[in-house]
Amino acid sequence: MRSYVRNVLVQNNSRGSTVIIKNGQPQQISYGWAWYGKRIGNGNDSVVYPTASLQKVVTAAMVIQLMNEKWHTSERFSQNTKISRWYPELKNANNITLGQLMTHTSGINAVNTEADRGINYSEDDAVKWAIDNANAIDPGTLGTYFYNNTNYILLAGIIKKISGQSYETNFNNRIVNKLGLANTYLYQNIPSWKTDPISYTWNITNYQDPEYITKTQASQLVGAANMFTTPMDYYKIQVGLSNGAILNKSDFYYLTHLKSRANNYSGGIYLDNNDTIKSAYGNLGGTHFGIWFQMTTDNRNGLIMFLNQTAGDENAQKQVGYQILNHIKPYTFITG
């Protein structure tokens, strides 16, 4: 398997770190340089990768945890609760439900959420920017799927409003500490002995056009794309979403079958093939990362692929992953 995966990456001018899951057994396989200039290899113990939109399911899961905790109190809420409860100043908030934030069907279509604004935002300021910019434009059609990071930045703010603690504190207590994750951080908490990778493109040769995620860009995207981890820690998160560590199976079903979903996206991930396959893709504007996972919902087979050198668009990157998936368990996974 190791030589096969590396050969696929070579043939597709791609580099990165992966976790292969076959019959319930995860295996890390990495190839190439995470930081070419310093010759730090992908898979090195010091490297933690951006998860981009693969963080969204973590944020959504924390909302479900809080929903369960508040269910028998006066602060009870559900997927149908209007977000005007937390954001009375937000345009159209009386019509938008919590579930619609989690399924990108809120109609919110703020632009330039990933363009680096050069400001190191606090959590509160990142949420305020989301509110201000959601208010500055006419919302799209409520109930129509329109993917926008603002939905999940607003969810991060709701987590703070409900819990009385920062998103960071909730993240560390509910996810990192709960699972005992040793390599998972929000950007601002990456320790000095760790490093995030540089992203590259392939253009005639390897390691061209280096770009990395800045502190300011990460700070804009609280709850949506400021988590850094390894593919092995992310595997543990995926398992924890249904084994009771983060959520149980019924919670996971609720998360992924919200009534407001307009397609197969709900709570941060896509479900396909009669709910037997789960997946999500992420990158960040201005960088060349290709972050993707596709697994069976029983967590027994699949791939977590963190590419820091890519060639081609999202579809091309998924095709790289699909070659590996078809080798793990043929006739099981989907190409998109």
Q: Assess whether pLDDT exceeds 90 at residue 335.
A: no
Q: What is the mean pLDDT of residues 276-289?
A: 97
Residue whose token pair is 């249904």: 242
Supply the mean pLDDT for the chain: 97
Helix (H) or strand (E) segment spanning residue 75: none
In sequence order, the 6+-apart residues with CB closer than 8 A to the CB of 205 are none
Distance, CA of 221 to chain centre? 11
Q: Assess whether pLDDT exceeds 90 at residue 299.
A: yes
Q: Assess whether pLDDT exceeds 80 at residue 221.
A: yes
Distance CA(193)–CA(215), nearest Å, equals 17
Q: Contact 86/73 with Cβ under 8 angstroms? A: no
Q: Contact 244/65 with Cβ under 8 angstroms? A: no
Neighbours of 186 (CB within 10 A): 21
Neighbours of 2 (CB within 10 A): 12
pTM of the model: 0.98
State the pLDDT confidence band at 136, using cuts at 50, 70 and 90. confident
State the pLDDT confidence band at 140, using cuts at 50, 70 and 90. confident
Neighbours of 28 (CB within 10 A): 16
How confident is the model at residue 311, as a pLDDT? 94
pLDDT tens-place string over residues 42-79? 999 999 999 999 999 999 999 999 999 999 999 999 99
Give the total residue count for the chain: 336
Closest CA to 329 of 308, 306, 301: 301
| Residue 304 dihedral angles phi and psi, to the nearest 5° | -115, 120
